[in-house]
Every structure is written in structure tokens, then in C-alpha cells.
A and B are shown apart, each in its own frame.
Chain A
């Protein structure tokens, strides 16, 4: 690290759980963020500000005026621009040292597998079950840690599936594929702006902890946030021995 970097990251370096060594890990890390919306905004802002070396941000949508109430990585002048590009533009001003790779599409299939395989940590900030299941399958196959968050209205959920550990539950142990009802989108349900901010910030914290190796990851636990009461609950998650995705054949 040069003098400017030592200054920029000094408040991380001062933390004994991070130090120069932990910050070096961040500078060399590759994070894959899928979704540049309500969750992906705080995730990408904090990962970029923290100096995560390479941020790959996937989103095929364009910025809409209705996004700006909560998707804080985008700005009014970005309406109409691709979200991946808009995010890259904002992040380049926050921390020009970070390499942001915008993927201007809804990733799936082999492309998704290649992106997951190249990442140190995967952050699911997407907005629908098919994408969430595809990301989970890729993380199970490539044994990558998955930081998963979701939110709607005033309520949110967040967990880590550390798929480097064969005993870890996967996302499908919690939400079996084809098991869930059609999800209703923010467009009709509404979402409280800071709700996705809170959940996204927890995702960012967990992604940074996984990269650094600090503390105890939120693995095997699902946090549930009741935003109206501002209460958190924690539910223990277990691997489903009959899981169609991660159970041994």
C-alpha cells in the first residue's frame, strides 16, 4: 500500500481484526454483486469505499425515476442509463482505485458460472427467485460463499451460505426450488427506502468479514428484520439432507 492508501484505509487498518493484512486482502479481493438495485446500491457503495479490488456488478435494467427513492448508487441524471454503468460511474467518484466491471445483462447459464467461479465472494442482491436459485446453484457448484439478502415493504431477511463448507446449508435448503409462490415485485408492493439499505449494509459487512476472515460469519443463521417494530430475529438454518441442489447424490 502507498501512503495515500494507508491514509484512505487508516480507519480499517486501525482495527485489530483488519489491520494492514486484512486491508491487503480487501485490495486483492474480487466480489461479484448481482443486482444494482435497492440492495446492490449499499453493497456496492460500501465494498467500493472499503477498497475491494474488483467489483463485478451485474444488472440488465436501466435506471428508472421510481428507483431513486431507495437505489442510492444511482442519481437523477442517470435515469435511462444502464444500472451497471450508472453504478460504475458513481463508484468511480467514491473510490477510483477500485476496478468496477459492469455486466450489462441479467446473467444466467455458463456466463453466471464463469463469473461465480472467478469471484471470492458472491452477493445476491437480485429481485426474483429464478435468479436467486441460479446464483445458488453456481455457488454450490463452485463452492463460493454466498451473501443473500431480500426485502419488501418493511421486512427483510439476510444470511450467509458459506458453501466452501460441505456441511453448510444452501439457499435451496431454505427456499426449495419451485416451492415458492410467485414473488410480488416492489412495483406493486412498495418498499421502505432504508429497509433495503439496512439489509444491504448487513450484506456488505458480511462480504467484507468473509474476505478478511474476521469474526463469525452469519452462516447457518437467517436474520429476519421486522422494520415496523425494528426488531431482529435469528433463525438457525440446517442443511436439508434431501435438498435437490446441495445434498450428495
Chain B
């Protein structure tokens, strides 16, 4: 199935070079792929995975790793940011 991965702020560095223009990457993944599997596949450091949203809706911290993605989902991950 197809999903879209969006990585914000400093996490953009974990996307392939070609995806950085928009900080998003279309992905082909197995059905029922979890958020944890995507985090692991892109080697995202745990401390940088601060907020997880699927289709713009926040996924609670406790349940997010096991959250199963569906066809067409947009998975967005935000690191903590403090710049000003």
C-alpha cells in the first residue's frame, strides 16, 4: 500500500536527498505497517520522535508505536524544536 511520510524541522535530514525539497516521501509499504516500523526503517532517534500525526490527527504517545497505517495515510513526525 502507499503512504506518505513527512518529517519536520531537523528530522528532514533523515529523508533521502531527493525528498528534502518538500520534506515528504511517498512510500510503498506492506499492509498494516506500524509507525514503529517506519521509525526503525529511517533510523529516527527516539528522542527526536516527539509528535506523531496521521492524516493531521495526533496519535497518543502510548499507542503510537503500534499504530497500524492504512492505504493513503500521511504520517507526519515532529522533533522537539526550540529555535527562535
Which residues of A are in contact with B by a Cβ distance under 8 Å? Answer: 35, 37-40, 124-129, 132, 149-157, 175, 179-181, 183-186, 189, 191, 196, 222, 224, 226, 228-229, 233, 235-236
Contact A155 B48 (CB under 8 A): no
Cross-interface CB contact of B80 among A180, A191, A196, A235, cutoff 8 Å:
A180
Q: Once A and B bind, how many residue pairs between them come within 8 Å at the CB atom?
A: 85
Please determine whether A149 and B22 come into contact, CB atoms closer than 8 angstroms: no
Please tell me which stretch of B3-11, B35-43, B64-72 contacts chain A, meaning at least 4 of its Cβ atoms lie within 8 angstroms of it: B3-11
Tell which of B51, B78, B83 touches A185, judged by Cβ atoms closer than 8 Å.
B83
A128: chain B residues at CB < 8 Å are 82
Q: Is residue B31 within 8 Å, beta carbon to beta carbon, of the partner chain?
A: no
In the complex formed, the residue of B with least CB distance to A133 is: B82
A180 near B83: Cβ-Cβ < 8 Å: no
> Known contacts A155-B8, A155-B9, A155-B78; is A150 also within 8 Å of B51 by CB?
no
Instruction: Report how far A125 CA is from B10 CA in the complex, Å.
Output: 19
Interface membership of chain B positions 46-60, coded 1 if the CB is closer than 8 angstroms to chain A and 0 otherwise: 011011010010100
**Docked-complex contact A152 and B83, CB < 8 angstroms:** yes
CA distance A157 to B78 in the complex (A): 10
Distance of A146 from chain B, by nearest CB (Å): 14
6 A-B pairs with the lowest CB-CB distances in the bound complex, closest first: A152-B83, A180-B80, A181-B47, A127-B84, A39-B84, A235-B58
Known: A155-B8, A181-B47, A235-B51. A228 touches B23 (CB 8 A): yes
Residue from B56, B76, B83 in contact with A183 in the complex, judged by beta carbons closer than 8 Å: B83
Contact A224 B78 (CB under 8 A): yes
Q: In the complex, which residues of chain B have a beta carbon less than 8 angstroms from the beta carbon of A185? A: 83
Question: Which B-chain residue is minimally distant from A190 (CB atoms)?
Answer: B83
Instruction: State the CA gap A154–B12 with chains docked (Å).
Output: 10
B16 interface residue per 8 A CB criterion: no
